[in-house]
Amino acid sequence: MGVLILGGGLAGCSLAYFLDSNSVILEKEARLGGLCRSYQLNNIIYDIGPHALFSKNKEVLSQITSLTETNVLRRSNKIYHKNRLVKYPFENDLAALAETERDYCLKEFLNNPYEVYHPHNMLQFFLKTFGEGITKLYLQPYNEKIWKFDAAFMDTQMVERIPKPPKDDVIQSARGIPTEGYTHQLYFHYPCEGGIEQLITALAKRIASKTTIVNPVGIRTIECNNKCWTVETDQGIFTGETLINCMPLHEFCTYIKIPQKVQTALNNLKYNSIHIIVLQARKDNMGDNFAFYVPERNIIFHRISKMNFLGKNYCLKDKGSTIMAEITYRPGSYLADLSRDEIRRTVIDDFDKIDLVKKNDVFDSEVRTFQYAYVIYDLDHRKNTDTVLSYLANQKIFCCGRFAEFEYLNMDAVFEHSYALAQKLNEEL
């Protein structure tokens, strides 16, 4: 009778690490890690979207980076805007824009009629905080591309922590004096080798003596009788007095009976899936940069990144680069139905179109698709998430992790949440 953890992603593995008691992790896939798994193309390792380690919480960051050796890298990200490269964040490099667009952004920022309003959705927040120019040229198209959702139908939970850029910084940036924004992400860590999955490997080693890991496993039923949880699987029956769900809510709720009201709320929780396309090319025009954000609507991907930036272990030996493109899509939308070949062809054509990688230089590529990538903060997200989570909490089911809590949690936040939950359970058990 111990702790049953359902899902062996970062949340499940870090929970087992922080718990004093023994636990059992039941993981569906043959490999632990969930979104923190890494893959290889011609021995070059890549993640499900490059996973940079950074945090405002220095204690958590040092806890994570103590698990494995990391390189510390300085951000070098660009926004691809109408054939120009603008340093990220956009408002810190307005001088890179054409003169009329630069003035549009600066003047609307300094004389912003929306400043006085309380924002009720993401679009209003952008207009209030950044003004019309920066919103219309970059923030709105980029966000609508990654979320595949109209910014007027998204709430402000995710953006409300974004500080208003200092006026002087934006004025300087328009004059051609570059400034830095979002400084907590300016430097980031990345494992020296093995990709982000190295974190999971390190955690798996540390939890081995106190954790039973069962994978791949097919869960059949979950029941609770007399305060004892019983999980029946294709690998046997597991029991525990504490049940922690770390898998996506949409998956977990298929194993239990929930009232209609909760089912309706669950059905209305929206998320994006993602196609990850990796290309290897003899040469490219991306320079010594890591990521490029691409707000242009006629280009299929929203972000591209160059693995070479991450260190010598991520570079092809005989020169050339490994480049990743990311395409989000809502399940059921037209992008969900594209075949791998169509995706690959379109991505290569679009790289060629924006002249960052020429078609003829690509010598290998692969496409992978992942169902749960981003929680969408639509206008009803809070209400629906609270309905589902409060029902589960009343059933004494703990939830921890990105899709288990249905929040935009990065790795540092997952760590924070699993640490807090483990501390609470360590005291109780």
Measure the CA–CA gap between 359 and 353, rounded to whole angstroms.
9
Of residues 102 and 417, the one with the C-beta less far from ligand FAD: 417
Of residues 217 and 348, the one with the C-beta less far from ligand FAD: 217
Shortest distance (Å) from residue 107 CB to ligand FAD? 34
Measure the CA–CA gap between 161 and 337, rounded to whole angstroms.
35
Measure the CA–CA gap between 248 and 236, rounded to whole angstroms.
22
User: Is residue 73 within 8 Å of residue 190, measured between CB atoms?
Assistant: yes
Shortest distance (Å) from residue 103 CB to ligand FAD? 34
Of residues 8 and 131, the one with the C-beta less far from ligand FAD: 8
Query: Pairing mode, if any, of strands 84-87 and 38-41?
Result: unpaired
**Backbone angles phi and psi of 90, in degrees to 5:** -45, -45
Measure the CA–CA gap between 245 and 397, rounded to whole angstroms.
7
Q: Within 10 A of 58 (CB to CB), how many other CB atoms are there? A: 9
Helix residue ranges per DSSP H, 66-186 = 99-110, 122-134, 140-147, 167-175
Measure the CA–CA gap between 330 and 273, rounded to whole angstroms.
6
Vertex 351: Cα angle to 347 and 355 (nearest 5): 165
Shortest distance (Å) from residue 29 CB to ligand FAD? 4
Of residues 124 and 157, the one with the C-beta less far from ligand FAD: 157
Of residues 128 and 270, the one with the C-beta less far from ligand FAD: 270
User: Is residue 232 within 8 Å of residue 248, measured between CB atoms?
Assistant: no
Shortest distance (Å) from residue 174 CB to ligand FAD? 29
Shortest distance (Å) from residue 10 CB to ligand FAD? 4
List, in sequence order, every beta strand (DSSP E) within 260-416: 271-281, 291-293, 303-306, 321-329, 362-375, 397-399
Measure the CA–CA gap between 281 and 356, rounded to whole angstroms.
11
Of residues 52 and 151, the one with the C-beta less far from ligand FAD: 52
Q: How far, CA to CA in Å, does 296 sit from each of 87, 120, 328?
A: 16, 26, 14
Q: Give first-to-last CA distance, the chain, whole Å.
A: 11
- According to DSSP, residue 373 is labeled E
The residues binding ligand FAD (CB under 6 A) are: 6-12, 26-29, 34-36, 48-49, 51-52, 219, 246-248, 251, 274, 326, 372-373, 401-403, 409-412, 414
Question: How is residue 32 written in tokens?
Answer: 């632990």
Of residues 91 and 407, the one with the C-beta less far from ligand FAD: 407
Shortest distance (Å) from residue 78 CB to ligand FAD? 16
Of residues 109 and 309, the one with the C-beta less far from ligand FAD: 309
Of residues 102 and 402, the one with the C-beta less far from ligand FAD: 402
Measure the CA–CA gap between 229 and 23, rounded to whole angstroms.
13
Of residues 106 and 409, the one with the C-beta less far from ligand FAD: 409
Return the H-helix or E-strand segment holding 322.
Answer: strand 321-329
Of residues 133 and 401, the one with the C-beta less far from ligand FAD: 401
User: Is residue 388 within 8 Å of residue 269, measured between CB atoms?
Assistant: yes
As a residue count, the chain comes to: 429
Shortest distance (Å) from residue 202 CB to ligand FAD? 14
Shortest distance (Å) from residue 371 CB to ligand FAD? 9
Shortest distance (Å) from residue 293 CB to ligand FAD? 13
Shortest distance (Å) from residue 41 CB to ligand FAD? 17
SS3 146: helix
Shortest distance (Å) from residue 154 CB to ligand FAD? 17
**Torsion region of 176: left, alpha or beta (phi above 0 gives left; psi -120 to 50 gives alpha):** left
